[in-house]
Amino acid sequence: MPKLTFNVDLCKGCGLCVSACPKKLLVIAKDKINKKGHSPAEITDQSQCIGCAFCATMCPDCVITVEK
């Protein structure tokens, strides 16, 4: 099963990964806040991830590492 790891404190909550995910698995976690003061992106259901890395491709801040 593919695995996404988020370097949460680098995330600026821009949401480009959210709109890139073909399975609509990513959200901006409005109830959380990282060290920079942004609400970071996170994955809702890891088991549904296909490991396409579209999210990481569109992320401007190298937040996401993808393993498969």
Partner 1 sequence: MAVVFKKPEALTDAPLHYCPGCTHGIIHRLVAEAIDDLGILGRTVGVAPVGCAVMAYDYFSCDMVEAAHGRAPAVATGLKRARPENIVFTYQGDGDLASIGMAETVHAATRNENITVIFVNNAIYGMTGGQMAPTSLPGQVTQTSPYGRDVKTVGYPIKVCELLSALDAPYYIERVAVNNVKNVMNAKKAIRKAFENQVEGKGFSLIEVVSSCPTNWGMTPEKALKWVETDMIPYYPLGVYRDKSKEAE
**Residues making contact with partner 1 (CB under 8 A):** 2-3, 9-10, 12-16, 19-20, 36, 38, 51, 53-54, 56-62, 64-68
Give dist(CA 18, CA 45) in Å, integer.
13
**Shortest reach from residue 57's CB to partner 1, in Å:** 5
Q: Which is nearer to partner 1, 35 or 44 (CB)?
A: 35
Q: Which is nearer to partner 1, 44 or 51 (CB)?
A: 51
**Shortest reach from residue 45's CB to partner 1, in Å:** 18
Polymer length in residues for the chain: 68
44-48, long-range: CB within 8 Å, 24+ apart, which pairs?
Answer: 46/1, 46/3, 46/4, 47/1, 48/23
